[in-house]
């Protein structure tokens, strides 16, 4: 009896030790998962700095490298790790033979050629780190990435202005005013979120073509000036959380509803407004279907998504160029995301979970 | 939904009490509608009228290059749905993909959410940000990156498989492996789902876990009897989104073979077929029919799932 009590009192590890072990275990697991998860980015980063030959050399090291050379009597020879009786030495292969080869030791070239018995093909070649820098410039020029960036940016900014103005107005309307049918209208608004865009796509396309907007940016910008259900929802939730006393005080001073929106509501809603702006920017940067159908054939107006796609098939055989292009395209949204990730991730939780 | 209490502008020296109240109410409604007008107008122009128009188109042979020849063809577009070999292929591709991708698109983010919610994880926010980050990567760039990673010769996945003695498949070129390849690619887009699952996990009251502990429940039982039921609304929400997303699946399928649906029609997703019909062959009458068929199927599925939710979705606050 006494023995068991002491055993219970003294487990193998104390509570504190177990806590520490749990921290180490879980964090290590997290690290492993995150490394596997982000491995493709690592691949892209490494491959973007490789030349075609370096990529084709599948037995070579992961990092961009070239076989190390040693210049012996005016000629370059590849270096190998050669096991010698006195340990492994790094030597240059001068005369390759089937069963025995002659090497020179760069540390002691005066000793002349050293004969080594064995097949040189079984030796490990020595590599040195040698990034290939040309992919970025080549991809930039071939895809005219500069122009694609400007185009995508222009569309993103203009449509962002549109969606911000209109969604703020509509959200304010839903959050602060009473009128008949409001509940129904709000339900309809929310229902449009799950409406598949395809149901409205074809007539929209026909309409924009009919008014001569086919092959222009207008269909990518103008619809955003008519508010978006997600954004209205997010902003409305935020506006509802702002105390009414402030509106009322401003109203007593004779402020109009517009004035109240601009000087009372908006200054307090910057986190939500930023989240909406970011959401829209990323969405627009990524948008594919609309530019694909409206900008078909207008290469000068292409956005990044469409411009890149044309090269994807060509680049399938040139991964170095493809990765350089992909990395350049990824850089801006990822940098923005890291800068504003707090507002952004909070915004998702608001829209995603609350009803 | 909360009906907001309104604040009414009070102007000094107004009319009599009764008419003042009425006038104010009217003014408030007027302002409300003014603020709503961008959406009301947009809903009319870009949603309601186009919906009616596409329903109308679905009974015609509308082709935008030959508007003069447009005529009503009755139900023949709908009849065509039932003997269209390509459509059958598109449905089969979409369903097969949904079968693998929908469950994984719930399980994987849930596991990640459990990981980044663990009290034993150091630097939680760093992990959350890193797991979320690939969601920000434009899909086209993501497809390019995975095109490299899954390259049969130089890609890391096959090199890794080769290390353990497995000859990796020719992912994007093999009709049997292209859907799994797309599923693997989809793992990069789980950030959003992970975050909603995470906030679901964080909303489970700690008292419930404590009570379970007192009752001697192990981690396994706690997870299936407490965590899962408590986060079932979030799982349900994501299930609906994931299903709708599968029917809308397009960009990845388009990019990997420039819209051809290669290899051998293995990536001819429903939405890609719709796109080809309407915008490559300009058969917008049948295209509209395909759009409405999809809409109706998605609607029925959603209604069906909402029916089943009584059995497995638990709302802590009661249903409203």
| Count of alpha carbons within 13 angstroms of residue A146, beta-carbon side | 5
Report the CATH number at residue B142.
Answer: 1.10.3720.10
Chain A residue with Cα closest to B122: A27
Question: Do A84 and A228 fall within a single domain?
Answer: no
Confidence of residue A347 (pLDDT cuts 50, 70, 90): low
pLDDT at residue A155 greater than cutoff 50: yes
- Structure confidence at residue B273 (pLDDT): 96
Q: Are residues B103 and B221 in the same domain?
A: yes
Q: Which two tokens stand for residue B253?
A: 């399928």
Residue A311, pLDDT > 90, answer no
- Say if residues B269 and B97 touch (Cβ distance below 8 Å): yes
A115 and A161 in a common domain: no
**Do B139 and A282 count as a contact with CB atoms less than 8 A apart?**
no
pLDDT for A354 beyond 60:
no
Residues 6+ apart with CB under 8 A from A262: none
Query: Are A124 and A140 within one domain?
Result: no
Interface of B with A in 165-184 (CB under 8 A): none
Residue A352 pLDDT greater than 80, yes or no: no
Q: Are residues B142 and B271 in the same domain?
A: yes
Q: Tell me whether residues A198 and B291 touch, CB distance under 8 A.
A: yes
Residues A294 and A158 in one domain: yes
- B42, B122, B136: residue with CB nearest A337: B136
DSSP E strand stretches across chain B: none
C-alpha–C-alpha distance, residues B87 and B293, integer Å: 11
Q: Is residue B200 part of a domain?
A: yes
Residue A168 and residue A220 in one domain = yes
pLDDT 10s digits, A128-154? 887 888 889 998 998 889 999 999 999
Query: Which of B28, B57, B132 lies closest to A178 in CB terms?
Result: B28
A83 and A172 share one domain: no
In the structure, how many helices (H) and strands (E) does chain B have? 15, 0
pLDDT of residue B11: 44
Q: How many CB pairs under 8 A join A and B?
A: 309
Q: Residue A191: which CATH number?
A: 1.10.3720.10
Judged by a CB distance cut-off of 8 A, whether residue B54 touches chain A is yes
A155 with A261, same domain: the answer is yes
> Nearest CB to B137: which of A178, A330, A352?
A330
> CB–CB of B4 and A176 under 8 A?
yes
Q: What is the extent of the structural domain holding A268?
A: 136-353
Question: Quick one: B293 and B180 in the same domain?
Answer: yes
* Whether complex ipTM tops 0.95: no
Q: Are residues A158 and A239 in the same domain?
A: yes
Tell me the pLDDT tens digit for each residue of A48-105: 898 888 877 777 777 888 888 888 888 888 888 888 877 788 888 888 887 888 888 8
pLDDT of amino acid B318: 55
Phi, psi of A106, deg, nearest 5? -60, -25
- The residue with tokens 């929209």 is A204
Nearest to A26 among B121, B203, B290 (CB): B121
Same domain, A148 and A248: yes
Are both B277 and B234 inside the same structural domain?
Answer: yes
Which residues from chain B sit within 8 angstroms of residue A250, using beta carbons?
Answer: none
**Distance between CA atoms of B270 and B95, rounded to whole angstroms?**
9
Q: Is B259 left (phi over 0), alpha (psi -120 to 50) or beta?
A: left
pLDDT value at position B6?
43
Residue A322 and residue A328: Cα distance in Å, rounded?
A: 10
Residue ranges making up the domain that contains B31: 19-57
- Do residues B26 and B89 share a domain? no
Residue B58, chain A, CB below 8 Å: the answer is no
Number of domains in chain A: 3
| Structural domain contains residue B317 | no
Summarised one tens digit per residue, pLDDT across range A199-256 is 999 999 999 998 999 899 999 999 999 999 989 998 998 899 888 888 888 888 888 9
* Residue A1 belongs to some domain of the structure: no
Where helices occur in chain A by DSSP H, the ranges are 2-9, 15-48, 52-56, 134-143, 145-176, 182-194, 198-210, 218-221, 229-240, 244-252, 257-260, 266-268, 270-286, 289-294, 304-315, 319-353
Residue B171 forms part of a structural domain: yes
Which residues fall within 8 angstroms of residue A8, CB to CB, at 6 or more apart? none
Mean pLDDT (10-residue bins), chain B, 320 residues: 42 46 84 95 95 95 86 92 94 95 95 93 90 90 90 83 87 90 92 90 88 88 90 91 90 88 89 94 95 93 89 69
| Contact residues, chain A, for B60 at CB < 8 Å | none
Measured in angstroms, the CA of A222 and the nearest CA of chain B are apart by: 10
Domain C-terminal end among A93, A110, A129: A129
Residue B263: cis peptide before it, omega within 30 degrees of 0: yes
* DSSP secondary structure letter of residue B234: H
The confidence score (pLDDT) of residue B317 equals 60
Are B180 and A337 in contact, with CB atoms under 8 Å apart? no
**Mutation site for A-interface testing, chosen from B21, B115, B144 by largest number of A Cβ within 10 Å:** B144
Q: How far is A265 from chain B (nearest CA, A)?
A: 14
Structure token pair of residue A67: 């076989």
**Which of the pair, A354 or B129, is modelled with greater confidence?**
B129
Examine the domain organization and report whether A115 and A168 are in the same domain. no
User: How many domains, chain B?
Assistant: 2
Q: How confident is the model over A289-297, as a mean pLDDT?
A: 92
- What is the C-alpha separation between A139 and B244, in angstroms, rounded? 36
Q: Smallest CA–CA separation between A115 and chain B, in Å?
A: 33
Alpha-carbon distance of A190 to B112, in angstroms, equals 29
Nearest to A175 among B4, B57, B287 (CB): B4
Residue B8 lies in a domain: no
Residue B320 lies in a domain: no
pLDDT digit string, tens, across residues A162-206:
999 999 999 999 999 999 999 999 999 988 988 888 999 999 999
Q: Count of alpha carbons within 13 Å of B79, Cβ hemisphere only?
A: 5
């Amino acid at each position: 009896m006494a023995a068991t009590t002491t055993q219970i009192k003294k487990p193998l590890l104390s509570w504190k030790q177990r806590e520490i072990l749990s921290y180490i275990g879980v964090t290590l697991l997290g690290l492993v998962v995150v490394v596997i998860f982000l491995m493709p980015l690592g691949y892209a980063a490494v491959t973007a700095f490789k030349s075609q030959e370096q990529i084709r050399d599948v037995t070579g090291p992961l990092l961009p490298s070239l076989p190390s050379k040693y210049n012996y009597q005016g000629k370059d020879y590849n270096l190998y790790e050669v096991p010698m009786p006195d340990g492994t030495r790094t030597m240059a292969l001068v005369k390759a033979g089937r069963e025995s080869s002659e090497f020179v030791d760069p540390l002691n070239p005066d000793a002349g050629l050293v004969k080594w018995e064995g097949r040189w093909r079984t030796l490990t070649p020595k590599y040195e780190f040698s990034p290939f820098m040309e992919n970025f410039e080549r991809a930039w020029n071939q895809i005219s990435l500069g122009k694609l960036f400007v185009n995508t940016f222009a569309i993103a900014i203009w449509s962002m202005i549109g969606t911000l103005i209109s969604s703020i107005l509509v959200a304010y309307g839903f959050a602060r005013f009473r009128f008949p049918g409001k509940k129904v209208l709000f339900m309809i608004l929310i229902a449009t979120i799950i409406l598949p865009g395809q149901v409205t796509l074809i007539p929209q396309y026909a309409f924009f073509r009919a008014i001569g907007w086919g092959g222009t940016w207008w269909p990518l910008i103008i619809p955003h000036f008519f508010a978006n259900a997600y954004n209205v929802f997010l902003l409305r939730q935020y506006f509802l959380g702002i105390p009414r006393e402030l509106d009322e005080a401003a109203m007593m001073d004779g402020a109009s509803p517009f004035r109240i929106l601009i000087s009372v509501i908006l200054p307090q809603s910057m986190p939500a407004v930023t989240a909406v702006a970011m959401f829209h920017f990323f969405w627009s940067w990524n948008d594919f279907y609309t530019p694909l159908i409206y900008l078909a054939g207008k290469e000068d107006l292409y956005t990044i998504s469409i411009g890149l796609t044309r090269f994807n098939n060509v680049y399938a055989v040139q991964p170095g160029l493809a990765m350089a292009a992909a990395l350049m395209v990824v850089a801006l949204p990822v940098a923005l995301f890291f800068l504003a990730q707090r507002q952004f991730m909070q915004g998702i939780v608001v829209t995603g979970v609350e009803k | 939904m909360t009906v907001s209490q309104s604040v009414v502008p009070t102007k000094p020296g107004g009319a009599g009490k009764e008419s003042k109240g009425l006038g104010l109410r009217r003014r408030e409604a007027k302002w409300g509608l003014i603020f709503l007008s961008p959406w009301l107008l947009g809903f009319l122009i870009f949603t309601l009228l186009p919906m009616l128009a596409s329903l109308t188109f679905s009974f015609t042979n509308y082709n935008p290059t030959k508007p003069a020849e447009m005529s009503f063809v009755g139900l023949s577009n709908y009849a065509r749905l039932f003997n269209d070999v390509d459509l059958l292929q598109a449905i089969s591709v979409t369903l097969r993909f949904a079968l693998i991708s929908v469950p994984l698109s719930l399980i994987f983010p849930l596991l990640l959410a459990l990981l980044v919610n663990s009290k034993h994880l150091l630097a939680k926010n760093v992990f959350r940000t890193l797991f979320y980050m690939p969601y920000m990567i434009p899909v086209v760039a993501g497809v390019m990156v995975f095109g490299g990673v899954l390259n049969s010769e130089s890609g890391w996945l096959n090199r890794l498989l080769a290390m353990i003695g497995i000859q990796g498949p020719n992912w994007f070129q093999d009709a049997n492996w292209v859907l799994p390849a797309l599923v693997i690619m989809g793992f990069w887009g789980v950030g959003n789902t992970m975050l909603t699952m995470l906030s679901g996990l964080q909303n489970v009251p700690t008292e419930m876990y404590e009570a379970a502990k007192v009752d001697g429940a192990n981690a396994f039982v706690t997870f299936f009897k407490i965590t899962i039921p408590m986060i079932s609304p979030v799982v349900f929400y994501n299930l609906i989104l994931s299903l709708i997303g599968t029917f809308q699946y397009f960009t990845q399928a388009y990019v990997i073979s420039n819209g051809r649906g290669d290899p051998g029609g293995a990536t001819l997703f429903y939405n890609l077929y719709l796109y080809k019909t309407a915008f490559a062959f300009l058969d917008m009458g049948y295209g509209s029919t395909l759009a409405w068929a999809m809409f109706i199927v998605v609607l029925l599925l959603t209604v069906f799932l909402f029916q089943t939710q009584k059995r497995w979705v638990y709302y802590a606050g009661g249903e409203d």
